[in-house]
């Protein structure tokens, strides 16, 4: 029962975190819009039926039943068409979409507020209004990652031995347990014990586990002195690393992969010891690089989204396993959060850090995803404003008539296609997260 309650608490925390993130995203649009004089009629968190609302001034603030998004309603989102009659575009479904968007935008402008329409704002002000939402998610992500890295800290390999292997298995071995006939690991034979803190290797003082590993890998079949601190005293051991197939690593100790993404193997010295981890609080200078890495990771997923969705479909409807680094829906995110919260093997601080990291990653995903230059996303409006600015700049340079605002309403058929595609992707991810969830533990 306790684990079930903890699971529910984890899910609730993520739901609240997502709602707050969405609310702040919309505030990022609301505040600059009001500052620039645009009339904002609604500020809503969620979609569907309204659960609660209150009007303050000219704006209705409320919460809706489905907390999977939010919006603000600004009057005059689209400019009126040039030289077209009101009913002239109703001859086809797609033209009807365009005209309906124009009509809805026109009807939102009440008498006396004509000068407060969104499309009348200068280009740079429209960009600020539309970028304000994603920017709020970026700011929130930076704050959350600062709490995660500087407050909770990051688990890192220490210079203390955490495990000693009894045998030596190649890096690509499918077995994880020793069997009779397997060669003994040099570390165990030399008398290295879990809890030993490595002081020096081959006469070189050791500051990090990566440093000790590099020295060991460079001395296969050569006896080297290993000084460890055990029970407050230094003990000198002699160990002979054996030549073994190991994964190639870079200077940070990360496994090197080839062009296909497969790990590269090399022949190197091997002792058979593993590091104990310790939580280390990071400096403030580590926050922005961490956020940048996450932004790049999300951007990479989006750029390869078609193939990623094919992989999700193959896993959902076939025997394949889900990619832990692939996309998932809010259902999958909630499930992961619940599993973290219900784990008995990790302390409360680690659970809290995991949930903070999830909310931070969600905000990075909201930041990157909303900047895709397609309507109805914020990036689509930003792209339209930039294109308008380019057109007007060239017209001014070449002394041509002002082309006027870009008619974004013409993109309504494309917007509908984007909405249908996003809806289908969301449905697939939700289904996959139910029948074939991502296994992280």
Q: What is the pLDDT of residues 290-318, one digit of tens each?
A: 999 999 999 998 998 899 999 999 989 98
Span 380-390, average pLDDT:
94
**Interval 39-63: pLDDT, tens:** 999 999 988 899 999 999 999 999 9
Q: What values do phi and psi take at 246, rounded to 5?
A: -130, 160
**Annotated catalytic residue within 26, 107, 174, 339:** 26
CA distance 384 to 409: 11
Span 208-232, average pLDDT:
90
How many residues does this entry show for the chain?
Answer: 441
* Residue 87 reports pLDDT greater than 70: no
Q: Which of 107, 86, 9, 18 is nearest to 359 (CA)?
A: 18
Which residue in this structure is represented by tokens 């400019």?
Answer: 79
* Residue 84 reports pLDDT greater than 70: no
Which is more confident, 257 or 123?
A: 123
* Residue 1 reports pLDDT greater than 60: no
Say what percent of the chain tops pLDDT 90: 49
State residue 128's pLDDT score.
97
Q: Is 26 a catalytic residue?
A: yes
Span 414-430, average pLDDT:
91
Report how far apart, in Å, the C-alpha atoms of 95 and of each of 88, 98, 101, 109, 348 are.
9, 5, 10, 22, 57
Give the DSSP H/E element, type plus range, for residue 54: strand 40-56
Which residue in this structure is represented by tokens 């407060």?
Answer: 116
Span 152-174, average pLDDT:
86
Span 141-154, average pLDDT:
94
Most confidently modeled range among 76-85, 118-127, 339-348 = 118-127
* Residue 18 reports pLDDT greater than 60: yes
Whether the Cβ atoms of residue 228 and residue 198 lie closer than 8 Å to each other: yes
Q: Name the average pLDDT for the chain.
A: 88
Report the half-sphere exposure of 261 (CA within 13 A, side-chain side). Answer: 0
State residue 386's pLDDT score.
95
Report the half-sphere exposure of 161 (CA within 13 A, side-chain side). Answer: 24
State residue 284's pLDDT score.
94
Most confidently modeled range among 2-11, 240-249, 291-300, 320-329 = 291-300
Reported pTM? 0.83
DSSP annotation of 185 reads P
* Residue 91 reports pLDDT greater than 80: no
User: Which residues make beta-bridge pairs with 64?
Assistant: 50
Span 388-408, average pLDDT:
89
CA distance 369 to 356: 20
* Residue 179 reports pLDDT greater than 90: no
Which is more confident, 7 or 176?
A: 7
CA distance 388 to 425: 31
State residue 118's pLDDT score.
93
Concatenate the DSSP letters of all residues of 310-373 into one string: HHHHHHHHSSPPPPTTS---HHHHHHHHHHHHH-SSS-HHHHHHHHHHHHHHHHHHHHHHHTSS
Concatenate the DSSP letters of all residues of 235-300 into one string: EEEEE-PEEEEEE-B-TTSPBPB-TTSPBPEEEEEE--EEEEEEEEPPPGGGHHHHHHHHHHHHHH
Residue 146: band (very low, low, confident or very high) from pLDDT cuts 50, 70, 90: very high
Residue 83: band (very low, low, confident or very high) from pLDDT cuts 50, 70, 90: low
State residue 173's pLDDT score.
79
Joined together, the tokens standing for residue 341 give 């919260």
Whether the Cβ atoms of residue 82 and residue 406 lie closer than 8 Å to each other: no
Whether the Cβ atoms of residue 384 and residue 391 lie closer than 8 Å to each other: no
Q: What values do phi and psi take at 241, rounded to 5?
A: -60, 135
Contacts of residue 333, defined as CB under 8 A and 6 or more positions apart, other chains included, come to: 14, 358, 362
């Amino acid at each position: 029962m306790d684990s079930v309650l903890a699971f529910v608490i984890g899910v609730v925390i993520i739901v609240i975190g997502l709602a707050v993130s969405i609310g702040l995203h919309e505030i990022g649009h609301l505040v600059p819009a009001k500052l620039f004089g645009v009339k904002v009629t609604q500020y809503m968190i969620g979609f569907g039926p309204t659960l609660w609302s209150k009007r303050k001034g000219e704006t209705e603030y409320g919460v809706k039943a489905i907390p999977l998004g939010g919006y603000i309603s600004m009057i005059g989102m689209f400019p009126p068409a040039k030289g077209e009659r009101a009913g002239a575009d109703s001859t086809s479904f797609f033209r009807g979409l365009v005209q309906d968007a124009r009509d809805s935008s026109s009807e939102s402008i009440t008498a006396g507020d004509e000068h407060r329409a969104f499309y009348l704002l200068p280009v740079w002000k429209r960009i600020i209004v539309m970028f304000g939402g994603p920017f709020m998610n970026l700011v929130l992500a930076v704050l959350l990652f600062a709490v995660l890295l500087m407050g909770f800290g990051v688990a890192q390999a220490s210079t203390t031995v955490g495990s000693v292997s009894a045998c030596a298995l190649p890096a690509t071995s499918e077995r994880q347990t020793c069997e009779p006939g397997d060669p003994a690991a040099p570390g165990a034979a030399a008398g290295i014990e879990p809890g030993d803190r490595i002081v020096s290797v081959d006469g070189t003082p050791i500051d990090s586990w990566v440093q000790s590993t590099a020295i060991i890998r460079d001395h296969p079949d050569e006896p080297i002195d290993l000084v460890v601190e055990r029970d407050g005293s230094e003990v000198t051991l002699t160990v002979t690393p054996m030549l073994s197939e190991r994964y190639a690593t870079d200077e940070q100790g990360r496994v090197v992969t080839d062009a296909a993404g497969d790990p590269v193997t090399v022949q190197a010295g091997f002792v058979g010891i593993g590091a104990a981890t310790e939580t280390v609080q990071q400096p403030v200078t580590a926050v922005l690089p961490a956020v940048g890495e996450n932004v790049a990771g999300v951007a990479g997923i989006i750029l390869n989204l078609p193939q990623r969705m094919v992989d999700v479909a193959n896993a959902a409807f076939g025997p394949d396993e889900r990619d832990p680094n692939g996309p998932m829906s809010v259902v999958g995110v909630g499930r992961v959060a619940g599993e973290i919260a219900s784990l008995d093997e990790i302390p409360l601080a680690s659970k809290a850090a995991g949930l903070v990291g999830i909310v931070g990653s969600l905000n990075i995903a909201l930041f990157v995803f909303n900047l895709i230059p397609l309507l109805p996303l914020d990036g689509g409006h930003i792209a339209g404003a930039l294109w308008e600015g380019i057109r007007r700049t060239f017209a001014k340079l070449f002394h041509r008539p002002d082309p006027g605002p870009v008619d974004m309403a013409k993109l309504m058929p494309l917007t509908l296609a984007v909405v249908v595609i996003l809806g289908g992707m969301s449905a697939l991810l939700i289904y996959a997260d139910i029948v074939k969830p991502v296994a992280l533990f």
